[in-house]
Amino acid sequence: MRHLPDLPRHADGVFVEDTAVVLGNLAILARPGAESRRHETETVEAVLRGLVKRIVKIRGPGTLDGGDVLRAGKTLYVGLSTRTNAEGIRQLTDCTVADGFTVRAVHLKGCLHLKTAVSMLGDGAVLANPAWVDLAPFSDYRVIRVAKGEPFAANSLRLGEELLYPAEHVLTAELLRAEGFAPILTPISELAKAEAGLTCLSLLLSA
**169 annotated active-site:** no
Quick: pLDDT tens for 90-122: 999 999 999 999 999 999 999 999 999 999 999
CB of 68 within 8 A of CB of 83? yes
Active site residue 113: yes
Predicted confidence (pLDDT) at residue 207 exceeds the cutoff of 70: no
- 3 state SS of 127: strand
Catalytic residue among 95, 111, 113, 169, which?
A: 113
CA angle 9–119–146, rounded 5-degree value: 110
State pLDDT tens for residues 48-83: 999 999 999 999 999 999 999 999 999 999 999 999
- Beta carbons of 83 and 32 less than 8 angstroms apart: yes
CA pseudo-torsion sign 133, 85, 122, 160: negative
Domains of the chain (ranges, CATH numbers): 63-201 (3.75.10.10)
pTM over 0.85: yes
What confidence tens digit (pLDDT) does each residue in 136-180 have?
999 999 999 999 999 999 999 999 999 999 999 999 999 999 999
Who contacts 190 (Cβ-Cβ below 8 Å, separation ≥6)?
Answer: none
